[in-house]
Amino acid sequence: MANTEDNLFKNVISHAKEYGFIFPSSEIYDGLSAVYDYGQNGAELKNNIKEYWWKFMTLLHDNIVGIDAAIFMHPTTWKASGHVDAFNDPMIDNKDSKKRYRADQLIEGVIEKLEEKIEKEIEKAAKRFENFDRAMFVSTNARVVEYQKKIDEINDRLKTAMANNDMVAMKQLVDDLEIADPISGTKNWTDVRQFNLMFSTEMGSVADDANKIYLRPETAQGIFVNFLNVQKTGRMKIPFGIAQIGKAFRNEIVARQFIFRMREFEQMEMQFFVKPGEEMKWYEFWKAKRLKWHQALGLGNDNYRYHDHLNLAHYANAACDIQFNFPMGFRELEGIHSRTDFDLKSHEKYSGKKLQYFDSEDNQNYIPYVVETSVGLDRMFLSVLASSYKEEKLEDGSERVVLKIPAPLAPNKVAILPLMKKDGLPEKAHEIMNLLKFDFRCFYEEKDAIGKRYRRQDAIGTPYCITIDHQTLQDNTVTIRNRDTMKQDRVAIDAVKAIISESVSMAELLKTI
């Protein structure tokens, strides 16, 4: 991470704490690694992101319904899903720094550096030659060909080692690539070991192995085991989807990037059940739809890109990530996976219960294929927070920090600010608040100079401030200030609701997708 980006990220993190968005968990005991609490403003922003996702799924698609399954599930669920045997990450320690890493991520880091070198060569050449032909250059330039060959070779070895669960081969790759620990700078590594990421606990009062259960590492399985319940009770016809928002838990080996990688986090997942053979059509459909959903927030279309998976998970026949340009670079924000019939088939096998759909049009039974969209709520939160955080220099030489959060997601929509704490201004302000509070989350404040109060609202991303002054008492007008432009207009109290509604409406945002 470059220095300025590093500083920006640090500023975002401290801002999030200072203004009640995110606190370290159990901070009075020095926190708990990779676990965070959402404060008064964070909880509102998080709820609004959930609403944006839930409404998109369940209101805009009449063939998608939502459920809320339990975190605890029968332990065999995780045997059937493959998580007991295969939800592992390869872990490696540096003996000098005593830091722990994921070996696959260290190796992927080498690939990323080679990819950056290729991009640099392309950039240089594109500047030099008119009518630059990227494809031609990539296939003929000796240096680029050499880098690409190296990338393919590393990818092949990584893929084979992961597929064969061969940790000796993983270690050999780390050695051959001469990977050094970024902290100690040494290549003094331990062997690579597999580490299962599921948290387990005991259910009931007898603590033996038979009672061992897991905290779900993904919400998807709660949907798969309820597939027939929902299909039958909802009389759903394929293609249809089941959506869910809920907590998931992973004992991540490396969890150092604030809320990007947590041990307790929230997922917003939708499993879309389709006819076998039609999954690629729906995979492309959801890939495009989900990108549009992200882009509609207006955080900058260039901040998103697709990343197709080369190494597919055991259950998938196609997969890609939507990556976001986080302060530490482009990283996975959402996964879109074509999961085949792997999960339902496996649950059929382990439970002995039929999980098939009767297609009345074709007059046949089949196990549907599944296309899933899975986005981390906390990562969504980070993408919104980090990209809306702005440090601005104003014309008069002063500075402000403003969160330009998309207005429908902002924790508070409007601040009601009586200019003074006397002369009946607070009473009038409360009158206005009572008019607005049923439609918008309002924030009332009467302390400090008005400029200071505006700054505080900027810092928590409130799109509008309404100031009540002596003129208000005479002619029923107020000043309405826009967070982004800082422009102030005198308007009639009767007009306020319409002005605010226009930009903070979730419905209007959803219409743009």
Q: Site residues (CB under 6 A) for ligand ATP? A: 218, 250, 252, 261-262, 265, 267, 332-335, 374-376, 378-379
Nearest distance, CB of residue 269 and ligand ATP, angstroms: 7
Q: Which residue is nearest to ligand ATP (CB)?
A: 376
Q: Indicate the residue type of 298.
A: G
Q: At what angle do helices 142-163 and 103-128 cross, to 10 degrees?
A: 160
Cis status of the peptide bond prior to 75, with omega within 30 of 0: no
Nearest distance, CB of residue 304 and ligand ATP, angstroms: 13
Nearer CB in complex with ligand ATP: 218/341: 218
Nearest distance, CB of residue 335 and ligand ATP, angstroms: 3
Nearer CB in complex with ligand ATP: 267/462: 267
Nearest distance, CB of residue 261 and ligand ATP, angstroms: 4
Give the E-state strand segments of 232-303 in sequence order: 240-249, 264-274
Calculate the dihedral angle through the C-alpha atoms of 117, 121, 123, 129, rounding to the nearest 10 degrees.
-170
Tokens coding 91? 């872990």
Tokens coding 17? 């704490």
Nearest distance, CB of residue 171 and ligand ATP, angstroms: 21
Nearest distance, CB of residue 420 and ligand ATP, angstroms: 46
Nearer CB in complex with ligand ATP: 227/265: 265
Nearer CB in complex with ligand ATP: 289/430: 289
Nearer CB in complex with ligand ATP: 134/314: 314
Nearer CB in complex with ligand ATP: 35/459: 35
318 close to 280: Cβ distance less than 8 angstroms: yes
* Residue given tokens 């640099």 in the structure block: 120
Nearest distance, CB of residue 354 and ligand ATP, angstroms: 28
Over 25-85, what HEC string results?
CCHHHCCCCCCEEECHHHHHHHHHHHHHHHHHHHCCCCCEEEECCCCECCCHHHHHCCHHH
Nearer CB in complex with ligand ATP: 150/307: 307
d(CA 87, CA 95): 25
Alpha helices in 296-416 (DSSP H): 342-351, 377-388
Nearer CB in complex with ligand ATP: 192/414: 192
Give the E-state strand segments of 71-173 in sequence order: 88-93, 100-102
Nearer CB in complex with ligand ATP: 57/333: 333
Give φ, ψ of 122 to 5 degrees. -65, -45
Q: Spell out the residues 6+ positions from residue 256 whose beta carbon is closer than 8 angstroms to its own.
A: 34
Nearer CB in complex with ligand ATP: 335/411: 335
Cα within 13 Å of Cα(378), Cβ side: 21
Q: Indicate the residue type of 23.
A: F
Beta-strand pair 22-24/36-38: antiparallel
Nearest distance, CB of residue 218 and ligand ATP, angstroms: 6
Nearest distance, CB of residue 82 and ligand ATP, angstroms: 12
Nearest distance, CB of residue 102 and ligand ATP, angstroms: 9
Nearer CB in complex with ligand ATP: 294/379: 379
Nearer CB in complex with ligand ATP: 379/481: 379
330 close to 383: Cβ distance less than 8 angstroms: no
Alpha helices in 177-299 (DSSP H): 220-224, 227-233, 279-295
Cα within 13 Å of Cα(393), Cβ side: 1
Nearest distance, CB of residue 90 and ligand ATP, angstroms: 13
Tokens coding 376? 């981390």
Nearest distance, CB of residue 372 and ligand ATP, angstroms: 9
Q: What's the Cα-to-Cα distance from 237 to each of 360, 367, 368, rounded to whole Å?
A: 9, 13, 11
Nearest distance, CB of residue 15 and ligand ATP, angstroms: 20
216 close to 222: Cβ distance less than 8 angstroms: yes
* Residue given tokens 């999030």 in the structure block: 16
Strand partners, 213: 201
Nearer CB in complex with ligand ATP: 103/238: 103
Tokens coding 176? 């051959």
Burial of 408 (0-12, 13-18, 19+ CB in 10 A): buried
